[in-house]
Amino acid sequence: MARKKASPKLDPSGVPGGGGRLQTPTPTTTGRSSTSRPKGRPKSATPKKRRPVNLTVRGGEDWKAWLESAAVVLARKKGVGKFDVSDVIDVALGLFAREMGIEPPPERY
């Protein structure tokens, strides 16, 4: 939606009938007029801590499709509605750790 330009107002400056000087509305320090609402969602009083990205995997479209199908199969086996590909990685790392005799990975969240 396009913004409307503020129409200039005449400044009477104490003269009957107006002084004839044009006065343009002055925006606040944020660039918005003082009557407009702030944009976006309100900030939370207790924001969630950001989690760092620990792993990025490159792969072809075929590999991505295979990984997503594995997520669907695991979701069905676990009895949950949706399984993300990162959950597939969690399960795979847990099984790998058990097979290798390594301590299982901690919970991600």
**Span 11-39, pLDDT tens digits:** 555 555 555 555 555 555 555 566 777 78
Q: What is the pLDDT of residue 3?
A: 64
What are the residues facing 47 on neighbouring strands?
none
**Span 44-69, pLDDT tens digits:** 888 778 778 788 889 999 999 999 99
- Chain centroid to Cα 10, Å, comes to 44
What band does 98 get if pLDDT is binned at 50, 70 and 90?
very high
What band does 84 get if pLDDT is binned at 50, 70 and 90?
confident
Q: Which of 64, 70, 60 is CA-nearest to residue 92?
A: 70
